[in-house]
A and B are shown apart, each in its own frame.
Chain A
Amino acid sequence: MIRVAPFAVRVRRWSVRITCAALAGACGLAGTRAQAPAAVRVPTAQIDSLIQRGLSRVAAGDTAGALALFAEATDRAPRNVEALYHRGRLLTRTIGLGFADTPSQVLAWRLLNRGADLAPRDARFALELARLRLRTPVLRADAERLFRNAAKVARASGDQAMVAETLWELGRVFERRFRTTRHRYMYTGSIFFDQFAARSRLHYIRDFLQQQVRPIDNAGATESAQAEQLYRDALTADPRHLPSAIGLSALLIEQQRFDEALARITPLLSEGAIDPTLWFAGGLSALRLGHAVEADAYFEGAIARLSPNERAEVLDIGRLLTLGDSVRLAGVSESVRQATLTSYWEAIDPLLSTAPNEARLEYLSRVATTMLRYDEPERSLRGWRTDRGQILVRYGEAPVEALLPSTDNLAARDAAGRLITVFYYPNTEVGFVFVGALSMPGAVFAGDFRDIAEAVREESPFRLDNIALAASIDSMPTQVARFRGTTNGAYDVVLATSAPLARMYRDAELDRGVIALTLRRGGVERMRLVDSQQVVVSLPRATPVEYRQLLTLPNGEHRLRLEAIDPAVRQANGRAHVVIGLPASRDTGLALSDLLLAHRRRAPVTSMRTLADANIDALAGTRVAPRDTFAVYWEAYALRPDSVGDVQVEVELAVTLLEIQRKGDAVSRWLANVADLVGLTPEGDQQLGMRFTRRERLDGRDRVPLLVSLSLGEAPIGKYRLDVTVRDRTANTTARMSREFTISPL
């Protein structure tokens, strides 16, 4: 059972703690002042050596060893300002945010205070004292005053770099306040947010945000303005102070002032700024301004400037895959991983015709956003590693982000007294809840939302639905048919597709469209451009632009991507992506090619030898207009000739209605479906049955092309299957092939 002390007792305890802290600070101040004689600024060689050894230990990551050396230095030379500074500074870096490190805090405070007294014009002490205050519980609010004091000391000493540093720190104080107030919501109802209900009840987050809270207008605007001004002042003092440039650009980007951010960043990048965060900020700004090529260059610059470990982390797509896939990817060799990486980005690129890769740019822009928002340099924590950062990278910026006051649910211990952050994605109705300390940058998943995030990741590890381009791409109907090539190990592949102009230009007020058609092909490796055409069309035009290509491909798996775009029109983007497998081993027995649906151009040549002899145009897609007559072409391989050199085949064609496509209201469609089930409609019926035999002289051919014209008359609109069965009467072997197609108005 948990015993909670009465309020009065708790208040008394707190007051004692505050008093102790204040008095300790005051005593420290008084003590150091009492001891303050004239400054001793020249350290002895021994002390110097100790400090250098200590700094070497710091560089090597041995903080305890360094502290011991600095302690020895301050013990032997209590008035050596360098020793006092380095010991006080290192102690400050090791202190956490709670009460556990109070003795270290008091010690660091005393050391730095003594240093400040010995060197009153040295702003480093004032700055470290302010940083220390920032880590002192309860008295954190006083850090602002101390940072201002540090800035004053730095200005007085004329140290512009230190002025910039102190103003930057002060700016960060306000930026933190801005970030913890910006998306603040206030309660309008009487119900507090319940993270357990958010987890267990469908639509809870949506309903709660709609009914129980409302956003506070202009929340954080003042803090943002103050932080911005401080960063600008810091940059005035030292125009190359990169942390201030990063802080300023982060604020400008947050307010969608991308022109201003880029104007600030570009000169620093041109000078070769080394901080990758600034390069990421440049990329993000350029991307939001629509300068994709520039953004790509900045992102590449940023990646090149990351440390090797961080670079590997950013380039690792494991975070964008399901847990299982990420583990599998982690287990493969480096070369396979690189190939997978290339294929992955290529596969999810909305349009290969528009360089650079929009999906990858979006991913890198999300990484940039996490860095600008959630990076914590003090803890060497990168934004993409944080819980909020992970969600942001996977699903983009939450369209609804709400910061809510603490919950009243005593069972939710991790949220009590803390700030609750809700990321809500209305399109998918997915929400994530985080908790974090007030006015502090960090936040972690609340309760078991970490598990929920993993469950969501299993279903959809990476979403790009915030890319406008991805939403505006039409699919292009495509037909692919494979035929054996003239040489062993090669295939002839017919690709026929069409750009649906009526849809692509549906709202465009334009008299002429210029469509760029491109065909790319690749295996596991990167896709390469195979064909490129430009088609000019007068608008409006209802009929689609058709594209046909006969490709000769080797055995193996091939990816084909056909794209049709008109850069002038927002929605004029079409895409078809096909993966085809071409088996290496060929049957020596009777085999059929794919069935190719086509329109006849003119009569075929007698005794056809190849597809070209058929004089047909492959249908772009597998859709046939009602009452249309169409042709079916296929090839039969390994037919056995009889004693006079002829082949005899018996062909059977059957067309089956698989599904009737109905219009009308839901009730009538449902009734019709019931009728389908009980066999009252033609669904499932064979619409056409046809059988014929053919005898041909083989005449040295390795195949026998077959061409049949079909008309389904009044067959209803719907989905059909064409089955072709060929029997070699000489060898008495049979082979079958099928193709599904639809009958619908064009």
Chain B
Amino acid sequence: MTQSRRTLAAAAIGFSLLLNLPLAEAAHGQATVRDHRLRYSIVGALVGSALAGGFYFASDRGERSGQCDPKGCALPYLAVSGAITGLFLARELDAQRRAELPRTGVRERLSLTSVTLPSMPTAMAVNDSLVVVLSDSGASLFAAAPRPRALRRRASALSGLRDVAITPGSDRLLIAGRAALYSVATDSGPATRLLEGEITAVAVGREGWGAARGSMLLIESRRGGVVVRDSLNVGETIHTVAFDAVADSWLVGADSALLRIAIRDDAWSVTGRWPTAGSVRAVAMNANWIATAEGEAGVTVWRRESLSSGVVTALSLRGDPRFAYDLAFQGDELFVAGGTDGLFRVALGASAVVRSVSRDLPFVTLIRADAGGGLWAGDRGKPSVVRVETTMPPR
């Protein structure tokens, strides 16, 4: 009777195990992970059986009387519990692998050199010699070298800092904040207020700067040897400003479009408007391409020559990363900061294709390329600024 009950119990457990065996379907479009459940279950069962065997050989018949019998009791129980343990272990490992696997492209390991920041990075500016990262603690300055070196901290104790730009020559920083637009020397001295009121974005141009306040673009430029400040209402909230040196004009990322602002008839005006799928968080450009990061809406990329042609066609990247925080060009390759999804390397051609994804940065939200082609990332996971080496080919 006891024997049959044990057999029944073992059968019941085996039955419930069998219910678990069907393989979990892979998420749509996701690369598959080899299933290890059967292998781990067998290994677990073998380990359990080995333990039962050990018990059999190590114990005397006399000692076992009235206890769990090695063959009828210990063997099935240990084998089944070993199999269950193996099964759950395999499920866990498979799930972990599946979660870590990029949904598109191949996984890439990057060589990273990081410097810890006092708090989460909110904005970053890079030129040939300097990396400036904004956080709650002000602006942290680093030397733009293969091994990042902390230089100094500027604009300490200022609150609500949003965006930063470095003037040509690296002698001053322009910092957009909740209360004003500040100008601060990169070496020492206090910040001065250039504009009162909330400024959401700032960029430096060839001979001046552009700053955004709501839907107003405020531009300081040099015309005819005179410094002139103009303002232009673009009609929708501006989130980011960039200077396009190739076209000698400003690019403004707004709620639903990328706008080009240039001088026409001796006044600043909107000379181009290209709709986007979402509000533009960041703009990046090189000699051939202009790209925007649009958060949930992904990334939109335009070929420069198509913008001046009659038919504007845009490449887009939707779904991966699930949230595009920021982007930067390195050569003709586009790097997209995808938050917890990682850093995406995108090849541009007839379409935008994710070549590889690096999950080495836990929460990458900022990415910039320096003049020498080096990539710099801001990571919120462990507040840090990271020099990214991309020379390694994707595996």
Q: Which residues of A contact B (CB under 8 A)?
A: 8, 11-12, 15-16, 18-19, 21-23, 26, 139, 141-142, 145, 148, 152, 221-223, 225-226, 229, 232-233, 255-257, 259-260, 263-264, 290, 505-512, 514, 539, 566-571
Interface-located stretch among B45-53, B149-157, B299-307: B149-157
| Closest partner residue, chain B, to A11 (CB atom) | B77
Q: Is the CB–CB distance between B95 and A222 below 8 Å?
A: yes
Name the residue of chain A whose CB is nearest to the CB of B10: A15
Task: Write out the residue numbers on chain B whose beta carbons fall within 8 Å of the beta carbon of A509.
Answer: 138, 154-158, 184, 189-191
Can you name 5 A-B pairs with beta carbons within 8 Å?
A23-B12, A263-B296, A507-B157, A514-B196, A568-B193
B96 to chain A, nearest CB (A): 5
Q: Measured between C-beta atoms, what is the minimum distance from B190 to chain A in Å?
A: 4
User: Which 6 A/B pairs are nearest by Cβ-Cβ distance?
Assistant: A15-B9, A568-B179, A225-B99, A19-B12, A570-B159, A508-B157
Report the minimal beta-carbon distance from B21 to chain A, rounded to whole angstroms: 9
Q: Bound state CA distance, A222 and B94, in angstroms?
A: 10
The reply to whether B15 and A22 contact each other, CB–CB distance below 8 Å, is yes
Residues of A within 8 A of B331 (CB): none
Q: Which of B22-30, B107-115, B384-392 contacts A (4 or more CB under 8 A)?
A: B22-30
Nearest-CB distance from B47 to chain A (Å)? 19
Alpha-carbon distance between A232 and B30 when the two chains are bound, in angstroms: 14
B16 touches A22 (CB 8 A): yes
Q: State whether A511 touches B95 (Cβ < 8 A).
A: no
With the chains together, A266 CA to B17 CA distance in Å? 44
Cβ contact within 8 Å between A507 and B156:
yes
Shortest Cβ distance from A566 into B: residue: B179
Contact of A226 among B6, B99, B178, B182 (CB under 8 A): B99
A365 to B1, CA, bound (A): 61
**Are B68 and A233 interface neighbours, CB within 8 A?**
no
Given A260-B323, A509-B158, 10 new contacts (CB under 8 A): A15-B12, A19-B11, A142-B19, A148-B24, A257-B323, A263-B296, A507-B157, A510-B191, A568-B179, A570-B158
Which residues from B are CB-within-8-Å of A142? 16, 19-20
CA distance A21 to B180 in the complex (A): 69
Residue B42 CB within 8 A of the other chain = no
Contact B184 A22 (CB under 8 A): no
- A221 touching B99, Cβ below 8 Å: yes
B158, A567: Cβ atoms under 8 Å?
A: no
Chain B residues near A255 (CB-CB < 8 A): 340, 363
Complex-state Cα separation, A16 to B6, whole angstroms: 9
- Is B190 within 8 A of A539, CB to CB? yes
How far does the alpha carbon of A55 sit from the alpha carbon of B193 in the complex, in Å?
Answer: 67
The residue in B28, B154, B159, B180 that gathers the most chain A C-beta atoms within 10 A of its C-beta is: B159
B247 to chain A, nearest CB (A): 29
Residues of A within 8 A of B190 (CB): 508-511, 539
CB distance from A151 to the nearest CB of B (A): 9
Quick check: is B250 within 8 A (CB to CB) of the other chain?
Answer: no
Closest B residue by C-beta to A23: B12
With a cutoff of 8 Å between Cβ atoms, the chain A residues found around residue B182 in the complex are 510
A248 to B394, CA, bound (A): 31
Q: Evaluate contact between B178 and A18: CB separation under 8 angstroms.
A: no
Q: Which of B16, B95, B380 contacts A139 (CB 8 A)?
A: B16
Known contacts A12-B5, A222-B96, A567-B178; is-contact A263 B295 (Cβ 8 Å):
yes
* Interface residue from B154, B184, B339 paired with A257 (Cβ < 8 Å): B339
Closest to A232 in B: B322
Taking a contact as CB atoms closer than 8 A, the residue among B99, B178, B189, B322 that contacts A260 in the complex is B322
A259 lies within 8 A of B16 (CB): no
Contact assessment for B157 and A569 in the assembled complex, using a CB-CB cutoff below 8 Å = yes
B44 at the interface (CB under 8 A from A): no
CA distance A233 to B24 in the complex (A): 15
A568 near B20: Cβ-Cβ < 8 Å: no
- B374 contacts partner chain A, Cβ-Cβ < 8 Å: no
CB-nearest residue of chain A to B73: A8
Choice from B11, B192, B363 contacting A511 with Cβ under 8 Å: B192
Contacts of B99 in A (CB 8 A): 221-222, 225-226
Q: Flag if A508 contacts B9 (CB, 8 Å).
A: no
CA of A21 to CA of B380, assembled, Å: 48
Q: Separation in Å of the A129 CB from the closest CB of chain B?
A: 13
Measured in the bound complex, the distance between the Cα atoms of B362 and A463 in whole Å is 32
Whether B25 pairs with A148 at a CB distance below 8 angstroms is: yes
Question: Could you say which residues of chain B place their CB within 8 Å of the CB of A505?
Answer: 157
Question: What is the bound-complex CA distance between A732 and B380, given in angstroms?
Answer: 77
A332 to B339, CA, bound (A): 51
Residue of B nearest to A511 (CB): B190
Give A18 to B22 CA distance when docked, in angstroms.
Answer: 21
Contact with A along B325-342 (1 / 0, CB 8 A): 100000000000001100
Q: Once the chains are docked, how many angstroms separate the CA of A226 from the CA of B95? A: 8
Within the complex, which residue of A22, A233, A511 is in contact with B28, where a contact is CB–CB below 8 Å?
Answer: A233
A145 x B296 contact (CB < 8 A): no
B12 partner residues in chain A, CB cutoff 8 A: 15, 18-19, 21-23
Q: Across the interface, do A18 and B16 meet the contact criterion of CB distance under 8 Å?
A: yes
The smallest C-beta distance from A248 to any residue of chain B, in angstroms, reads 10
Chain B: minimal CB distance from A633 (Å): 39
Q: Which residue of A lies closest to B190 (CB)?
A: A511
Cα-based distance from A608 to B164 in the complex (angstroms): 60
Instruction: Please name the residue on chain A nearest to B2 by beta carbon.
Output: A12
Tell me if B13 counts as interface (CB < 8 A to partner A): yes
Contacts of B25 in A (CB 8 A): 148, 152
Q: Which of B11, B16, B67, B177 contacts A568 (CB 8 A)?
A: B177
CB A223 to nearest CB in B, in angstroms, measures 8
Contact indicator B8/A222 (Cβ below 8 Å): no
Chain B residues contacting A223 (CB-CB under 8 Å) are 95
Measured in the bound complex, the distance between the Cα atoms of B8 and A510 in whole Å is: 80
A567 near B325: Cβ-Cβ < 8 Å? no
A539 to B95, CA, bound (A): 58
CB pair A567 B15 closer than 8 Å: no
Does chain A have a CB within 8 A of B230?
no
Within 8 A of A (CB), among B127-143: 136, 138
Q: Which residue of B lies closest to A152 (CB)?
A: B25
> Considering the chains assembled together, what is the distance between the CA atoms of A23 and B12 in angstroms?
8
Give every chain B residue within 8 A of A257 (Cβ-Cβ): 323, 339-340, 363
Instruction: List chain A residues, Cβ under 8 A from B11.
Output: 19
- Is the CB of B248 closer than 8 A to any CB of chain A? no
Q: How far is the CA of A493 from the CA of B208 in the complex (A)?
A: 53
- Asked whether B24 lies within 8 Å of A15 as measured between CB atoms, the reply is no
Report A-chain residues with C-beta under 8 Å of the C-beta of B136: 570
Nearest chain A residue, comparing its CB with the CB of B155: A509
B92 at the binding interface (Cβ < 8 Å): yes
B137, chain A: closest CB distance, angstroms: 9
- Closest CB in chain B relative to A152 CB, distance in Å: 8
A84 to chain B, nearest CB (A): 23
- CB of A38 to closest CB in B, whole Å: 28
**Distance between Cα atoms of A12 and B24 in the complex (Å):** 32
Q: When the two chains form their complex, are residues A290 and B160 in contact, meaning their CB atoms are under 8 A apart?
A: yes
Choose from B13, B159, B189, B363 the contact partner of A567 (Cβ within 8 Å): B159
**A141 to B323 CA separation, bound complex (whole angstroms):** 32
* Alpha-carbon gap, A139 to B160, bound state (A): 52
Q: Which residues of B contact A507 (CB under 8 A)?
A: 156-157
